[in-house]
Each structure stands twice: as C-alpha cells, then as structure tokens.
A and B are shown apart, each in its own frame.
Chain A
Amino acid sequence: MTTAMTSGRAPRTPGSAALVRLVAAREAGTRLRDRNFLISSAFILLLLVGVLVFQIVLNSGSDQTRIGVPTDDVRVAAALEVQSRALGIDLVVERYADEEAARAALAEGAVEGVLVGGRGREPALLVESGATPSLLTVAQGAVASIVVGDQLAAAGVQPQPVPDVVVRALDPQVDAGDERLVVALIGTALLYGLLVLFGQFIAQGVVEEKSSRVVELLLVTMRPWQLLAGKIIGLGALGLGQILVVAVLGVAGALVFDLVDVPGDLVGTVVAVVLWFVLGYAFYAAVFAVAGSLVSRQEDLGSVLTPTTLLLVAAFIVAFQAAADPAGAMATVTSFTPGLSPLVMPVRSAAGQAAGWEVALSVAIMLVAIAAVVRVGGRIYAGALLRTSGRTRLREALRAERA
C-alpha cells in the first residue's frame, strides 16, 4: 500500500456546475495569459482612448468666444450673456475695471474683442484685426437690445418680460438621436470586433482539443455539452468583462470631458449594446464552436468559419446602412433576423426608430434562435468531437453522436 495514494480525502463526483466551472476557469485563465488576447485587448482600449482624445480635441478647439467689457456699464455684460444664450454661442464675458485694462487684455490675446461705449457713447467693438461672425453677432445683438430698451424707457414704455418661446418639435427624433446613433455605431463596431475575436477563440479552442486529441481524455470525465458550456461561459465572461471595461471607461470619459449633451441617452444606448453583446455572443459562440468541431486541424478552420464570419460581416454592414436609414425596410427586417439583430437593433433603437415592443420581440426571437442553435449545435458538436480524421459532415455528426 502506498501512503501517497491514500492520503487526502477520497475524490468526489463533481456535479455539472462544478465541471462547467472548471472548464470555464481554464478557458479564461488560458486566454488571460495568451499574448494575442492581451494585445487585442490593449488595442481595443487604445482605440477607445484615441476616440475620446479625438473628441476632446475636436470639442476644445471649438467656437468658444471670449469678449472683454469694461465694468462702467453693467448692462453690457448682462446683455451679452443673454444674447449668447439666445444665439447658442459659447461666450465667456470677461469683466475689466476700465477700458484701458480691457484693451490691454485684447492686446495680449486674452480676449478676442472688447465691447466699449455705454451710456451716451457710440458703441464700438474693438478687435485686434477682424471680428468672427459669432463675435460680431453677439455684440450687435447686445447693443441692439440695450438701445431698444433705452428708447422704450425714454418713450415711457415699461417693457414686459418677453415670454419664452416653447419649442415644439414636429419630428423630434430626427436630430435628437444623432449623438446616440454615433454611440450605437461605435458600440456596434466594438461588438462586431469582439464577436469575431471571441468566435475565433472558441473555434480555435475546439480544434486545439480535437487536433491534440485531448478531447478523448476530457470526454471520459464529462459530457460534450458540459465541455461546450464551460468553453462558452469562460470566454464569454472574458468578453463581457472586456466590453464592460470599454463601456465604463467610455461613458466615464464622455461624462468627465463633457462630450455628450444627454448623459441618460448615452448610458441607455451603452447598456443596450452590452445586453446585445450577451445575446449575440451566445448565438455566435455556439455556431463557431460547432463549426470548429467539424475539422481536425487548425489549417482547415478557415473554410468552415467562412459562412459564419460572412454573416457577421453582413450584419456589420447592414448595421451601418441602418444608421443611414433607420426607418427603412432593410433595417426593420434585419433588426428581427437572428444573428443580424444584435448589431442592427441597437442602431435602430438608438435612432429612435424601434418601439419597446419591437426590441422585446427581437430579443425573444434571438433567444429562441440561441436555444435552437445550442440544442442542434450541441448534438453536432458531440457527434463530431471524436471524429478526428479530416472533415466531418454535418449530417454525419448529427447521426453519429457517441456512436
């Protein structure tokens, strides 16, 4: 009797959950140390940072206008601010003690113009060489409002406060969705990239197990579906983690640097993209795994993955087309088509063209499709796993499940 053999507790039978967890942990752990995975992750993050920086640069170099006013007439500064708000011009009004100080600020470039001339003086806009249209418009408007006010007062008219105009949009979704659309498109691109990447990972993993014949050793301890579930869940957790990191960083960056007007819309769109990733991933992971199980060598993988990859590419193209015409028949139909909907529906709903029930229906169709793919795919996978010679036909695999 050897002491080593009998030491420790006797092995227990691991349940399905334990087996799936073991497989998932191995998959995730292996990928986390895989150089290709790390490089691709770093690339995605760099891309995100790049987009953010680009947006910040674009925004900061924008139309902010600085104007100086001497404080001898308080009405000028106030009128300028009212005008700038009315005209939608991003104006900063710098107040100076007197005209001399304002001129000095203009000379050193702290302001683009100085508006002088209060009571009884001809108003003048002092600039270094020329006035930008927004500067001129806002100055003109401010002066006009002061003058009109003065004249009305001189005529004995007490000006009533002007009622604010209520904005009533006839087609509110046309422009309001622009920003959300951009976010949805960035999200879709990310989703596409991650689906392709993780689909490849899954298929390569399946073929690796077949080509190295380790699958025979694995199937002695577990059922094919447990192996498949572990693979999909393990890599899926990584993918979800990756998209969450991108989403959180992206949203946080956009909020901190004030890149969006309506943060609520941004968050809503991002959440939708993340949820669609989960659905799209479940679908494509199963399809890629089944495709991978049909071949025995990495070299043959390309041929069986092509149809699925093409479907993804088509979905990506359709998604962009949907951004241009979110109400069109193409976008509508494809946003319900399983496999295409994860990329198209986020764009359509970001454009405000999908009602709540439509999204719910599309999700339901997708869930049914996932169930079907997992069920049929699981059988094919089980039938094809132990056929390590050449390429297995679908029908053969379906028939041969553990023959």
Chain B
Amino acid sequence: MLEFDGLHKSYGDDHVLDGVGFTVAAGSMFGFCGANGAGKTTTMRIAMGLVRPDAGEVRWQGRALDDDARRRIGYMPEERGLYPKMRVGEQLAYFARLHGLDAAAAGRAADEWTGRLGLGDRRRDAVEKLSLGNQQRVQLAAALVGRPEVLILDEPFSGLDPVGVDALAEALLEQVRAGVPVVFSSHQLDLVERLCDSVGILARGRMVASGPVPDLRQREAGRLLRVVVPDAPPGWAGGLPGVRVVAQQGGDTLLELDADADDQQVLAAGLRTGPVTHFARREPSLVELFREAVADEGAQVAA
C-alpha cells in the first residue's frame, strides 16, 4: 500500500498543498486529477524526495520513503528529462544501473523495454534525433527499466498519439497486474476513468474527492435527473420542492434533486405541460464529478 498522508507545503504565503492524503493499493491504478496549479506535481515531487514537505509523509508498505525505497520507484517527471546526446539504449541501461541492476541485467532491460515500446530500431540513435512522441516513450522506458515496485508518473499521456496512448496504457495495466501500484496524473479524464481503479481530485492543494470511481459515482448518482419535455415553458420545474434546475435548453432539462425529493412529482409536473419524451436518472461522468468537486471547492473558498 502506498500512502500519501497529510502533506503540507507552502512557498511563502502560497499554500500549495494543504493536507493532501490518499492511498493506493498494491496492484491498482490511481488517477490524479486537478486543475493546473492544483498541486499534483508538488505531491509527486514530495514522494520522490525532490521537494521537502512542511508536514506529512509518504509511506510504502508502512514505512516512510527514504533514499533506498525511492530507488525502487519508477518516476516520470512532469518536465521530461533525458540526456539529449546519449543513445537510447545506453541511456536506458544507465538508468537501470542507477536503480541497482547489474550491467548485464541493465542491458537486457534496456533491450526489452525499447522493444516493447516500439523503439527497437532506435536503440543506437541519440535521444535528440527522435520525435517528441518517441522521446516520450523513452522517458516511460526510463521509468520502467529499473524494475520498479511503484510507479509515479506525472502526465505520462500528454503528447502521445492514440497508438502511443494504447501502448502506454497496456504497459501500465501490465505493471498493475504484476502487483505494482501506479499513480499518474492526467487532464484526460476519459482516460483516467477508463484505466483507473480509483481517482483523486485535487483543487487548490486539497483533496476534494478521492476513492474508487464507482463509489464517487454512487455518491453523486441519483442527484441528476434529465427530463425532456418539448412543450414545457421555461422554469416549469422551478417550484418543485427539493429540485434545482441545473440547465434548460428548449425542453431538455437537467435537474439536481435533493436526497429526499420525489422524482415522481417531477414526472407528474412534466406530464402536466405535455408529453415527456425522456425521463432518466443520470450517472455523472468523471468530467462532471471533477467540475462539481472543483466548483464546490471554489464556492467554499469564495464564501
């Protein structure tokens, strides 16, 4: 189990992290979402020992991460970094050795990962000669080549074409199946939704939601009701108890219901205006959960 516990970090008056905590089970994938500047990168850099937290710690298997434990983590920094003039194969073997593999094993690991990420014929090329997408693959290979026990990846999918996204996703799922906990941040919420067992949403340095995706959905589910009533006048549902109109376009109405509101009352009200062509509870997408969470946080801050 990988635990992020109560992380605080300020730069002067700027509270970048304000008690960030979440856990990632072994063999599960955790998606880390949040607006730009929410503190995702700082959180990951704290885990990697690149930033010192003001408070809190990151634990792996119950023990706070130290230099030796960090060497067992595969890391992909937000700002990609490779030696531009070094050859792909040699570079990967070098990183593997820094992570503790012996020379022979490092060479094999470099060959293996270049092959699996479709870089087999670029091993002898300098990194700077590769396209950005391919450099990205090398960067990922650098995170994987040291046989990590944990993967922490900052925006690993950004800049990849769909084929690259699939190759990366497959590689990550394989790691998860091997028992490696994977944490990655991404703005591509559909991808997070598709790949991750659980997600965390970070806003202004605070975790505003975290947990398995179905749980989060459950929490929000039942709140949203979409009703299509073509002949209804604007504000037809406004007076109903426990109902809030989120949006109305023509007769297409999105309503948010309180827990004790009666949806049958809404249906009856709709039928009074004419035919009801659509009436259904809606499961929120991760995008909506994200917007919701971030908006709530914003409202709290504003209030």
Contacts and interface: CB of A to CB of B under 8 A. Distances in A.
Interface of A: 1-2, 4-14, 19, 22, 26, 30, 208-209, 212-223, 386, 388, 402-403
Nearest to A26: B94
A37 to B, nearest CB: 13
B124 interface: no
7 contacts: A7-B108, A214-B83, A216-B50, A217-B75, A220-B70, A220-B71, A402-B49
Contacts of A13: 68, 71, 100
Contact of B50 (A1, A9, A214, A220): A220
- Nearest 6 A-B pairs (CB), nearest first? A213-B81, A11-B100, A214-B81, A221-B98, A213-B79, A216-B77
A12 B97 CA distance: 10
A383 to B, nearest CB: 12
A240 B294 CA distance: 60
Given A11-B146, A220-B49, A223-B67, A215 B174 contact: no
B52 interface: yes
Given A8-B109, A217-B82, 10 more contacts: A7-B108, A8-B108, A11-B99, A14-B71, A14-B100, A208-B84, A212-B83, A213-B79, A219-B50, A221-B95
Contacts, number: 93
A222 B49 CA distance: 10
Contacts of B97: 14, 22
B79 A388 contact: yes
Contacts of B68: 13
Nearest to B54: A403
Contacts of A14: 71, 97-98, 100
Nearest to B143: A217
B51 interface: yes
Q: Is the interface of B mostly helix, strand, loop or mixed?
A: loop
A234 to B, nearest CB: 13
Contacts of A216: 48, 50, 77, 79, 81
Contacts of B95: 217, 221
Interface string B80-124: 111111100000001101111110010011001000000000000
Given A8-B105, A220-B48, A403-B51, A215 B178 contact: no
Contacts of B178: 1-2, 5-6
Interface string B46-58: 0011111000000
Contact of B77 (A11, A213, A223): A213
B81 A217 contact: yes
Contacts of B102: 9
A19 B147 CA distance: 18
Contact of B98 (A19, A213, A215): A19
A91 to B, nearest CB: 62
B177 interface: yes
B30 to A, nearest CB: 19
Nearest to B94: A26
Nearest to B51: A403
A9 B105 contact: yes
B73 interface: yes
Contacts of B52: 402-403
B14 to A, nearest CB: 13
Contact of B142 (A5, A19, A26, A217): A217
Contacts of A22: 94, 97-98
Contacts of A19: 98
Contacts of A6: 178
A212 B84 contact: yes
Contacts of A217: 75, 77, 81-82, 95, 142
A403 B82 CA distance: 23
A396 to B, nearest CB: 13
Interface in B191-245: none
A10 to B, nearest CB: 7
Contacts of B94: 22, 26
A216 B48 CA distance: 9
Nearest to B147: A11
A5 B147 contact: yes
Contacts of A403: 51-52
B80 A213 contact: yes
A208 B83 contact: yes
A311 B188 CA distance: 53
B2 to A, nearest CB: 16
Contacts of A26: 94
Contact of A222 (B48, B79, B98, B147): B98
A212 B97 CA distance: 20
Interface string B241-269: 00000000000000000000000000000
Nearest to A217: B81
B10 to A, nearest CB: 11
A220 to B, nearest CB: 5
A85 B194 CA distance: 99
Nearest to B127: A212
A245 B265 CA distance: 95
B43 to A, nearest CB: 15
Nearest to A29: B90
A13 B98 CA distance: 9
Contacts of A208: 83-85
B68 to A, nearest CB: 5
A386 B41 CA distance: 14
A1 B67 CA distance: 27
Contacts of B108: 7-8
A215 B49 contact: no
A215 B67 CA distance: 16
B150 to A, nearest CB: 12
A215 B81 contact: yes
Contacts of B82: 212, 214, 217
